[in-house]
Amino acid sequence: MRDSFENQIPDTTAYKEWLGVVGSMMAAVAICAVLFAGGIILM
């Protein structure tokens, strides 16, 4: 009974890793956009 219950739990490790990578890239793009916009305003 315990084995059949454990087999139905989905493995979300790959999804969490992908979400972390994409989230990090989006954060880096957002930071660069803010810095670039600030540089244009200061010119």
Q: Name the residue with tokens 């810095």.
A: 35
Residue type (1 letter), 14: A
- What pLDDT, in 10s, does the model give residues 5-41? 556 777 778 888 999 999 999 999 999 988 888 766 5
Residue type (1 letter), 12: T
Q: For the whole prediction, is pTM greater than 0.75? A: no
Calpha distance 32→9 (Å, rounded): 39
DSSP string, 1-43: -HHHHHHTS---HHHHHHHHHHHHHHHHHHHHHHHHHHHHHH-
